[in-house]
Structure 1
Amino acid sequence: ERRDVGRNRGEAHGTAVGVVDDGGELVTLLFDLDRGVRMRAADALEKASAKAPDLLRDHEQRLLGCAEDAADPELKWHLARMLPRLVLEARDRAAALDLLQDWLADPGVIVRVEALSAYAALAGTDPALAEVLRTRLDEALATGRPAEKARARQLLRELASGTGAS
């Protein structure tokens, strides 16, 4: 349950701090049969990789595969936060953008919000995708829930100021 992840936040942070040298073990746990283990691993890996993105290096293909197969909303939103931290070849970056595009239609608002941010972070580095990104942000402003609209406004401000989407 979602409550399980929140209740174990301290545990996840402790785990994240303890695996700073090797993200591979946490990546493996993203595929565990136990949903609670998957969620705690995703939470820990997302938090640890925010401070040390190199934890994800050499695990790009496994993380993309996990994202493609992800069904749990919590797993999706953690993966959405991690995808922009991956060092991706052009083909894999395009696949990640396609996946995030699909997640923009997810039933879960937080999945859509995090997918929007990740899409902006990945597309924002490519001038060829600037128009597509603006269309996605405009769609979120026009039809999104309040959280999506707020995130779209924030991302549009970042784009306008030249600080990029993060």
Structure 2
Amino acid sequence: MDIREVLSGGDLRSVGHVDEVVAYVGNDPDRFNELRTGLTDDRPVVRMRSADAIEKVTRRHPKLLQAHQASLFEQLQIATQQEVRWHLAQLMPRLMWTEDEAADIVHVLTDWIDTETSAIVIVNALQAMFDLSAVYPRFRFELKALLETQLETGSPAVKSRAKKLLHKL
């Protein structure tokens, strides 16, 4: 199976054959490696669906991310496509980071929250920061301020998540 070709076709409003790819990849590191290369494909639809499939595969098999930690960290810093960003945000808390790396991630996510128009990206960035702050408490103060701001200015979906996360904080 050529994973990138299976994920191609159609447009950004459909998930295409992501579920087939998730089942095909399973817990296989070689297949996962092939899937991960889709994040840098020239076609936005392949990048989006690859990110979606990676997120779904690693819900069950988070250890598959470890070998790709450096490249995912790099993708986080250069990704501009909102559909890729929202899945990258979901992936970051599934990995073990040094405190400095976590600070870099929080910086990127904060920038997304300040500049992104996609409510999904903002919600997932807030959730990722919340999850990271459970491991790295130093980010809680910054997170609390962001959540309070989003409670005032965010879209309805963002306000809803901000309220939930503030309650848990």
TM-score by length of 1: 0.87
**How many equivalent pairs are there?**
155
Q: 1:101 corresponds to which letter in structure 2?
A: T
Matches within 5 A, 1:9-158: 11-19=17-25, 20-22=27-29, 23-105=32-114, 106-158=116-168
Q: Which consecutive unaligned segments of at least 5 residues does structure 2 have?
A: 1-10
4+ residue runs over 4 A deviation = none
Q: 1:124 to 1:133 in 2, by over 3 A?
A: farther
The alpha-carbon deviation at position 109 of structure 1 amounts to: 1.4
Q: 2:44 corresponds to which letter in structure 1?
A: R
Q: 2:48 corresponds to which letter in structure 1?
A: M
Find the counterpart in structure 1 of residue 14 from structure 2. Answer: 4
TM-score by length of 2: 0.86
How far apart are the structure 2 equivalents of 1:128 and 1:67?
A: 21
Q: Using the aligned pairs only, state the percent identity.
A: 37
How far apart are the structure 2 equivalents of 1:39 and 1:156?
A: 30
Q: Which consecutive unaligned segments of at least 5 residues does structure 1 have?
A: 160-166
Aligned CA RMSD, in angstroms, stands at: 1.3
> What SS class does the counterpart of residue 47 from structure 2 fall into?
helix
